[in-house]
Structure formats: C-alpha cells, structure tokens
C-alpha cells in the first residue's frame, strides 16, 4: 500500500487528500505546522470581527479525518531526503513516503524595510497571524496598512470593526492599479473612504519607527511624512512558502516549486500544488506561472489526486474568474477585464447613481466577441459566464441575456433594461 504524504493542510492539500481517498485505499498523512485541522482561510477575518468562532471555520467535524483514514500530524517538515524517500520532521522523527505532495501555500511578503520586524508589525495570512493580530491590536487607536490589495482591505475592515482608525498607504496612484481598471478603482476608493479609511495614494513606506518600549510607534513615508500609529499591517502580497526547501536542493525551485502541467516536479513521485507551485509554462498562456487563488488551489488538488491514483490528468484551469468583498460590496470578474484595454478591445462601463452597483464589459471591437466582465454590488451566475466565454458569444448576446446570468432576479428587474438601453446608445473606440 502506497504511503502518500501531503505537506500542508490548506485548500489544495486537503482537496488532494479527499480525492485520493475517494479513488484509493492508500495510506494518507497530512502534515502541517500551522494547525491540526483544515479551516477556511478566507473566514479568519470574521473570527476577529466576532461574527464567527474558530470552530465555525472548520468545514469538517474533527472525526471526519479518522473516519476517512486521513492521518493528521501537527509538525514541521525540515527536509525531504529524496534518495531515501524520507521526510525529516522537527518534532516527531522521520517518516517514509512513496509519494509526496508539497502544498505549503504562501507567506506574506516583506521588502527589507527598517523596523519591519518590530513588535506590532505583521502580515495576515496564517492562523498564527490572526492570533498575533489579536495581541498586537489590543487597546490601540491607530493602524497603518501598507499595500493596495485584497488582504489590505480585509485587514482594514477588521480593524475598523474594533473602532481602530486606519491609514492605508497605496504605492500606485489608484487602488489595486495593477489589476483594476480606473473606473473600478475609483468606485472602490470612494467606498473605502466612505467607511472612514484614510486612503493615501502614491505613498510608500520608508521605515517603521520604534518607540521607547521597542514596539512600533509610527512610520516614515518616502515623502518624509511621519504617521503615528501602534500597529502596521504589511499587506504587499504573498509569495510561495518554500524557504524550508533550501535543505532539499534536489527539488527544483524558482519563486515557487517548479512543476509541469501534471503538477509533477523534477523528482519522480514528488508533486506540488496550490499557492507554492510554479509552472514551467502555464497551460493557459494568458495566466501567471503562480496562481494564488482559492479556486485554482482546489482545482490543482483534485487534478494531482487523479494523477497520483493512476489517471494522469493535466491541470486545465478553464476560464479565469475571481470574487471578493470590499466591505459590503460584492465583486466578481469573469474572463479578462484588465487594468488597461488590450489592442483592438472595446469596453462599456455602467455605474448606478448610488456608486455601489456597476458592470464592466470588454470585447473585441472587430468581431464583438465577449472577452470578460466585472460586476459590483450584485451576484451573477458563474456557470452562465463560463459557458458564454467558452462559446465565444458576442457582447450583444451578453447584454440581451443578462437575465440568464442574474443570480438575484431583482437585479434584472431593476437594472438590466437600463443597462441594455445605455449599452445600445454607447459607442466605444478600440484602444
């Protein structure tokens, strides 16, 4: 009987474990130094805000693992001995393996700022980060968040829920400027400011300043401005959690663990999946070599489980999509709505007068083939947009059939006719 060891218990590793068990009687061991049990990482913020308890963010009952013969081990892998097929653990000795899945996720970025390791300065990714944030924000009045992305927005909402004032430094001149088009960035920026976030664009961290007690007491920007605070959130993205692999040089790495389309590394019987995996060449040339999104991690976990259990299956991610919440505004995107229009692309942007509801469509100006959509303030059906993108239908068809995609019928009844009428009156010149 094969012994399959999964290093990491996030969405990718646990999806792999579940699907291996469905398909085989192999011995399965999951090792994680973060937590014993799998939990929903995206729900951690609601634990801090008091909306959920930690036990509520665990999708499976604790007895699920024993019932499905999945052995959970709270420990750290120090080294993979690929010659002896041995894992050297920090606390519980060595274990033999037949196959290994590396699914160690991400860690928060740091960029060598003076003072970045002071008490009161941290990122937000792991369960330990959440526990540390409880300590670091107790009794404080002002926080600074560095970095203009989704984790920063989550952190801002968490802090504001405890009446902690937030200054948000964004290096670009728009919010999430590397991802969002200007119209969308403006909507989100206004919304954040309405929630009393002090949003400062074109502002970069120079140094974190220590107080007499050795804890953070403020920050210095590159423009020379000093901002007093008792907490600094570093939310400038994440990177693959692979530093621990330096003791296992046989496994090829770059920014992440290098894999082919089957999620195989250069070493036989060793695989990598989720946030820590980096494709030599992504199966979809429009996408990045590292994909740090919940649903792509889940898909990779399922595909690697098939390959490991004898049905060698390439990772084929399908149409791009993503979703998030900016405080109380839901955001969805399907296909490609980039921060700048591509050559030969046209766009249509409609925003409700209340500034909370919007839709953004992008298409090929010549053929009118639909390229992508972003929406704010309402929900649309994933399967409908996935089909439209796969079928390469026209943007005119999308607008005419928005009722098919409306998750909430009220949206269609209230707004779809307005959107259709406005769209038909609008002409956009391709870039």
Query: Is residue 106 over pLDDT 80?
Result: yes
Better-scored residue on pLDDT, 307 or 406 = 307
Phi, psi of 379 (to 5 degrees): -110, 140
User: Are the beta carbons of 428 and 348 closer than 8 angstroms?
Assistant: yes
- Greatest CA span in the chain, whole angstroms? 70
Task: Specify the higher pLDDT residue, 415 or 281.
Answer: 281
3-state SS class at 154: helix
Residue 13: pLDDT over 80: yes
pLDDT reported for residue 431: 43
> What is the average per-residue pLDDT within 243-262?
97
Q: What is the pTM of this model?
A: 0.94
Categorize the per-residue pLDDT at 220 as very low, low, confident or very high, splitting at 50, 70 and 90.
very high
- What is the C-alpha separation between 76 and 59, in angstroms, rounded? 23
Q: Which residues contact 223 (CB under 8 A, 6 or more apart)?
A: 203, 204
Flag whether pLDDT at 430 surpasses 60.
Answer: no
User: Domains plus CATH for the chain?
Assistant: 3-107+239-308 (3.50.50.60), 121-236 (3.50.50.60), 321-424 (3.50.50.60)
Which pLDDT band, with edges at 50, 70 and 90, does 178 fall under? Answer: confident
Check whether 49 has a pLDDT greater than 90.
Answer: yes
Q: Quick one: which of 281, 389, 275, 286 has its CA closest to 333? A: 389
- Average pLDDT of the chain is 94
**Does residue 411 carry a pLDDT above 70?**
no
pLDDT score, position 284: 84
Mean pLDDT score, 39-64:
93
- Tokens for 400? 């005419």
Closest CA to 12 of 295, 238, 313: 295
Contact 108, 124 (CB under 8 A): yes
343-390 tens-digit pLDDT = 999 999 999 999 999 999 999 999 999 999 999 998 889 999 999 999
Place of tokens 């770059």: 254
Residue linked to tokens 């037949």? 98
- For the cut 80, the answer to whether the pLDDT of residue 280 exceeds it is yes
- Say yes or no to pLDDT of 246 above 60: yes
Q: What pLDDT shows up at residue 427?
A: 54
**Rounded CA gap, 258 and 117, in Å?**
30
Taking the CB of residue 227, how many other CB atoms lie within 10 A of it? 18
């Amino acid at each position: 009987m094969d012994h399959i060891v999964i290093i990491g218990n996030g969405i990718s590793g646990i999806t792999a474990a579940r699907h291996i068990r469905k398909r085989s009687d192999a011995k399965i061991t999951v090792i994680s130094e973060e937590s014993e049990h799998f939990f929903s990482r995206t729900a951690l913020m609601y634990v801090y805000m008091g909306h959920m308890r930690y036990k509520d963010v665990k999708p499976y009952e604790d007895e699920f693992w024993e019932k499905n013969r999945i052995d959970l081990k709270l420990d750290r892998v120090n080294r993979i001995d690929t010659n002896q097929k041995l894992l050297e653990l920090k606390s519980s000795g060595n274990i033999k393996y037949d196959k290994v899945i590396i699914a160690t996720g991400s860690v928060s970025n740091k960029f060598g700022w003076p003072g970045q390791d002071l008490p009161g300065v941290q990122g937000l990714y792991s369960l330990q980060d959440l526990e540390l944030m409880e300590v670091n924000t107790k009794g404080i009045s002002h926080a600074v968040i560095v970095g203009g992305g989704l984790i920063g927005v989550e952190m801002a909402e968490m802090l504001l829920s405890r009446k902690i004032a937030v200054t948000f430094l964004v290096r670009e001149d728009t919010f999430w400027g590397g991802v969002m088009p200007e119209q969308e960035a403006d909507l989100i920026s206004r919304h954040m400011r309405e929630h009393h976030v002090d949003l400062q664009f074109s502002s970069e961290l120079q140094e974190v300043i220590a107080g007499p007690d050795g804890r953070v007491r403020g920050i210095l920007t590159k423009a020379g401005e000093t901002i007093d605070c008792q907490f600094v959130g570093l939310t400038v993205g994440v990177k693959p959690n692979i530093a621990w692999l330096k003791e296992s040089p046989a496994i090829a790495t770059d920014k992440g663990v290098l894999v082919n389309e089957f999620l195989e590394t250069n070493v036989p019987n060793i695989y990598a999946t989720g946030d820590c995996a980096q494709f030599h060449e992504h199966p979809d040339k429009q996408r990045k070599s590292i994909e740090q999104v919940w649903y792509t991690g889940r898909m990779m976990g399922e595909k690697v489980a098939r390959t490991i259990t004898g049905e060698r299956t390439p990772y084929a991610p399908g149409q791009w999509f993503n979703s998030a919440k900016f405080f109380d505004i839901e955001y969805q995107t399907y296909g490609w709505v980039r921060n700048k229009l591509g050559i030969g692309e046209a766009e249509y942007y409609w925003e409700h007068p209340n500034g909370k509801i919007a839709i953004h469509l992008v298409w090929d100006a010549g053929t009118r083939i639909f390229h992508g959509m972003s929406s704010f303030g309402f929900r649309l059906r994933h399967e409908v947009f996935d089909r439209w993108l796969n079928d390469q239908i026209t943007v005119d068809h999308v607008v005419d059939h928005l009722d098919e995609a409306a998750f909430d019928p009220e949206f269609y009844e209230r707004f779809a006719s307005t959107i259709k009428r406005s769209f038909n009156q609008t002409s956009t010149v391709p870039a």
